[in-house]
């Protein structure tokens, strides 16, 4: 007896056997049980998610000799013939190979005649988007008003190519890509039923390679069985797929955590001996970075990504959250630019070194710490680096402007209430009364709600009941003179931008671009690196 591939042998033959498409099964089940059956159904989704399988099960449900119902018997002649692909009233058409209008007209010639043996004559048109425009026109009239004994089941991977006139005449069901965890579970069930020995870590590798398609996963499973001489071994699966041991990726991450460029290059040298696909390595690196970022926020989520939870728990505390976000973005950009590199190894190495070079440095870093990333000149929006301004010394007199700015920085307050406070100057405090004076330009920020929130924040800060009095600045001075925290921050930002522009104008690269190409700097686009 010839061997039947797993994808065909384990193809679902009833709605109960389908996995991952519960939303479609529920709708079809309700329609069949209630008798509200449309004359045309459109199933969309990527390859291998069950479009034609669902269509064939629906054809069985419509033609089962026990009646129209969501659970066909599976043993009557109609059910058996549909399963075996020889039911005369199920006309399956591959639109990819029959695109001409003559083919469509030939198919529709017999629509008017009653079914030969079944209850309905079912037309299953696969990859229907491949039909020509004239073919759609020929199909449209019949699709709009078919005889009562005819049902159309259309399937496509690209519904956007279908005319809106066709879409509007069909009930549409979009089949989802299956998650890797569900595919892994399904493969484990099949292997157990087939009495095949397998290593559990091998199955997620196949599931991820299938990219949401259960059919592709079963085809890869067949290939792995041949490659592993009847067994599914993790090492064999990695060799077959060309994937690398995730231990190499973990070691790269450890070097990034330590900021050790020498160790990073050494690990890369060992990795290069395996001649890996560097695009795939970057994808694995990005996946691990994403999982680490998630573990930092949701510690119990590590087991869902295929990585060792103990490894994630050990690595996550070694990174700042912003570092992980930066490394993840660099990894994505590295994948995009990999084809532009002299060779993939060089592109991958530069991506890793870029992660180290642009690693943020804490403000209190000592001289022995890694240097801060140099300023970068972007083509569309040049930015120049400049040191952060020194903090203004606090006045020894309680209630001074600088003292109010520092007090405001420590208040538990946000939003409009913080903006209100930032546009006030300190007047003084007498007992439980705190007096502020509001900048005339910011009167719109003053509401009962914002005053109440600011008063509550001051009470929490001073640890006592506070009555807040906000006076309006009636002085004739120009508004710019108001020495509020908001004005101080604005002046500091203006000074930073001015210094950034000066640094950029003095940059040798910018000067060379001016001299050789007549380049100009868009002053409004210059931003200081923070």
pLDDT digits (tens, 9 = 90+) for 168-194: 999 999 999 999 889 999 999 999 999
The answer to the question of residue 135 being in a domain is: yes
Residue 387 lies in a domain: no
Alpha-carbon gap, residue 33 to 15, rounded angstroms = 13
Please give the Cα distance from 131 to 101 (Å, whole number). 8
pLDDT, mean of residues 330-351? 92
Q: Which residues have CB under 8 Å from 93's CB, separation 6+? A: 107, 123, 124, 125, 126
Spatial distance between the Cα atoms of 530 and 360, rounded to a whole number of angstroms: 10
Q: Answer for the pair 491, 469: CB distance below 8 angstroms, yes or no.
A: no
Alpha-carbon span 198 to 215, nearest angstrom:
19
Shared domain check, 154 and 214: no
More confident residue, 69 or 397: 69
Last residue of a domain, one of 215, 241, 267: 241
Cα 58 to chain centroid, rounded? 33
Is the residue at 396 inside a domain? Answer: no
Mean pLDDT of the chain: 84
Q: Which of 20-29, 119-128, 275-284, 379-388 has the lowest mean pLDDT?
A: 379-388
* Domain, as residue range, for 204: 180-241
Q: 494 and 472: one domain?
A: no
Looking at the DSSP bridge assignments, the partners of residue 315 are none
Same domain for 504 and 455, yes or no, is no
Query: Based on the structure, what is the number of domains in the chain?
Result: 5
* DSSP result, 223-280: HHHHHTTT-B-HHHHHHHHTPPPHHHHHHHHHHHHHT-HHHHHHHHHHHHTT---HHH
Q: Are 118 and 78 in contact (CB under 8 A)?
A: yes
Ranges 149-158, 402-411, 456-465, most confident: 149-158
How far is it, in rounded angstroms, from Cα 330 to Cα 42? 41
Asked if residue 454 and residue 414 are part of one domain, the reply reads: yes
Q: Which of 15, 79, 11 is nearest to 48 (CA)?
A: 11
Closest among 172, 191, 302 to 237, alpha carbons compared: 191
Could you tell me the two tokens for 352?
Answer: 């890793």
Q: Is the pLDDT of residue 307 over 50?
A: yes
The structure's pTM equals 0.59
Instruction: Name all contacts of 44-47 with Cβ < 8 Å and 24+ positions apart.
Output: 44/155, 44/156, 44/157, 44/159, 44/172, 44/173, 44/174, 44/175, 45/157, 45/174, 45/175, 45/176, 45/177, 46/157, 46/177, 46/212, 46/213, 47/157, 47/213, 47/215, 47/216
d(CA 341, CA 278): 12
pLDDT reported for residue 505: 80
Mean pLDDT, residues 497-514 taken together: 81
Residues 26 and 152 placed together within one structural domain of the fold: yes
Residue 84 forms part of a structural domain: yes
| Same domain, yes or no: 37 and 127 | yes
């Amino acid at each position: 007896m010839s061997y039947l591939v797993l994808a065909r042998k384990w193809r679902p033959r009833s709605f109960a056997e389908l996995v991952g498409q519960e939303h479609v099964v529920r709708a079809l089940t309700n329609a069949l049980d209630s008798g509200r059956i449309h004359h045309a159904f459109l199933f969309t989704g990527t390859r291998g998610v069950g479009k034609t399988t669902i269509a064939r099960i629906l054809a069985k449900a419509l033609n089962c000799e026990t009646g129209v119902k969501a659970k066909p018997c599976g043993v009557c002649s109609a059910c058996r013939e549909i399963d075996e692909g020889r039911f005369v009233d199920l006309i399956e058409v591959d639109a990819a190979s029959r695109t001409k209008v003559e083919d469509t007209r030939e198919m529709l010639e017999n629509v008017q005649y009653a079914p030969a043996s079944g209850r309905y004559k079912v037309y299953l048109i696969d990859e229907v988007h491949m039909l020509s425009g004239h073919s759609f026109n020929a199909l449209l009239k019949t699709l709009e008003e078919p005889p009562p004994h005819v049902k159309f089941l259309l399937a496509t991977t690209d519904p956007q190519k279908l005319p809106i006139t066709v879409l509007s005449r069909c009930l549409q069901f979009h089949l989802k890509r299956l998650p890797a965890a569900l595919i892994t579970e399904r493969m484990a069930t099949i292997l157990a039923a087939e009495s095949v020995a397998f290593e559990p870590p091998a199955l997620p590798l196949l599931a991820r390679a299938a990219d949401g398609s259960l059919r592709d996963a079963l085809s890869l499973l067949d290939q792995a069985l041949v490659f592993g001489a009847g067994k599914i071994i993790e090492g064999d699966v990695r060799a077959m797929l060309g994937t690398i041991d995730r231990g190499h990726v973990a070691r790269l991450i450890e070097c990034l955590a330590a900021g050790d460029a020498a160790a990073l290059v050494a690990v890369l040298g060992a990795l290069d001996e395996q001649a890996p696909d560097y695009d795939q390595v970057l994808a694995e690196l990005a996946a691990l970075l994403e999982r680490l970022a998630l573990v930092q926020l949701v510690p119990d989520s590590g087991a869902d990504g295929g990585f060792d939870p103990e490894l994630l728990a050990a690595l996550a505390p070694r990174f700042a959250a912003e570092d992980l976000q930066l490394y993840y973005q660099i990894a994505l950009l590295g994948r995009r630019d990999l084809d532009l590199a002299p060779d993939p190894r060089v592109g991958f190495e530069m991506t890793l070194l870029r992660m180290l070079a642009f690693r943020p440095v804490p403000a209190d870093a000592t001289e022995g710490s890694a240097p801060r990333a140099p300023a970068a000149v972007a083509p569309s929006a040049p930015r120049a680096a400049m040191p952060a301004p020194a903090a203004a010394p606090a006045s020894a007199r309680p209630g001074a402007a600088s003292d109010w700015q520092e007090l405001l920085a420590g208040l538990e307050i946000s939003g409009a209430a913080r903006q209100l406070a930032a546009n006030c100057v300190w007047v003084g405090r007498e007992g439980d009364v705190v007096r502020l004076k509001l900048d005339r330009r910011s009167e719109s920020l003053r509401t009962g709600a914002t005053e109440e929130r600011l008063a509550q924040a001051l009470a929490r800060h001073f640890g006592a009941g506070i009555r807040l009095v906000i006076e309006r600045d009636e002085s004739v001075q120009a508004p710019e003179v108001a020495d509020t925290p908001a004005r101080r921050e604005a002046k500091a930002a203006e000074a930073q931008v001015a210094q950034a522009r000066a640094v950029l104008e003095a940059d040798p690269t910018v000067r060379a671009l001016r001299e050789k190409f007549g380049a100009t700097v868009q002053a409004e686009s210059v931003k200081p690196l923070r």
